[in-house]
Structure 1
């Protein structure tokens, strides 16, 4: 009986899983374009950043452990000292002037690239909720 319920649950929920996977894949594709147009100059092609100047996004503990802070930096720019992978960065990141959807998309891209793997999708509501 438990097996039948498990199989029925999987069949019922399967379309929802695929929908989330499709939404994430589409967001990542859009986010890659945003990244290439706005972020690549400072954070480089593989998210490696520029040593002691611009923090890496690849394998970034700052990005993965505090996505809200990363969203805030993208949304409003950054003037504070941050620590990424044990190195302090005190540069300035200007506000790129992106729309909330673009911020969500680029966050999904960088959070799922270069060895990063996010457990949740960033949506527009999450970005809208981040205040200065």
Structure 2
């Protein structure tokens, strides 16, 4: 009987943690969408498709999904020099947008879960953004 009770309590606890994480991701993504529309849309376009050989795509982007730390660094500090995204070289400057760590996390959560991207419900946190330093 005690074993069954512990098992049921474990299920309740785990489901509460997962629901809370999903809720936090959804809230972050909603904030991130607004930030994206204000700061990123002009270059990366409405559906994250970018502009071929000028501005890299964020939709289904191997650079974004395989190296999120580099994507965070680019958003946080800007980016200069060539990068390879989906086998295409992009060599255009991205200015530092001046976003605080919370806004960087929110926009990362939005773009990592939009347009065919999926983070597997992994949340980019403010601490993760803080840990990323400029080169």
Give me the TM-score of the superposition, normalised by structure 1.
0.94
Q: Give the distance between the partners of 2:3 and 2:112, measured in 1 at CA.
A: 37
Instruction: Give the match's secondary structure for 2:132.
Output: coil
- The structure 2 residue matched to 1:126, chosen from 119, 125, 128, is 128
In structure 2, the partner of 1:37 is: 38
Q: Give the distance between the partners of 2:54 and 2:12, measured in 1 at CA.
A: 50
Instruction: Give the match's secondary structure for 1:88.
Output: strand
Following TM superposition, by how much is the alpha carbon of 1:62 offset from its aligned partner in structure 2, in angstroms? 0.3
Give me the TM-score of the superposition, normalised by structure 2.
0.92
* Structure 1 residues not aligned, in runs of 5+: none
In structure 1, the partner of 2:79 is: 78
> For this pair of structures, how many residues does the alignment match?
132
Deviations 1:58-101 (A, max 9, x none): 00000000000000000000002111111000111000000110
Deviations 1:13-56 (A, max 9, x none): 11111110110000000000000000000000000000100000
* Structure 2 residues not aligned, in runs of 5+: none
Is the aligned partner of 1:20 residue 2:21?
yes
Spell out the pairing of 1:1-132 with structure 2 (5 A cutoff).
6-119=7-120, 120-132=122-134
The ranges of structure 1 where at least 4 consecutive aligned residues each deviate by more than 3 angstroms after the TM superposition are: 1-8
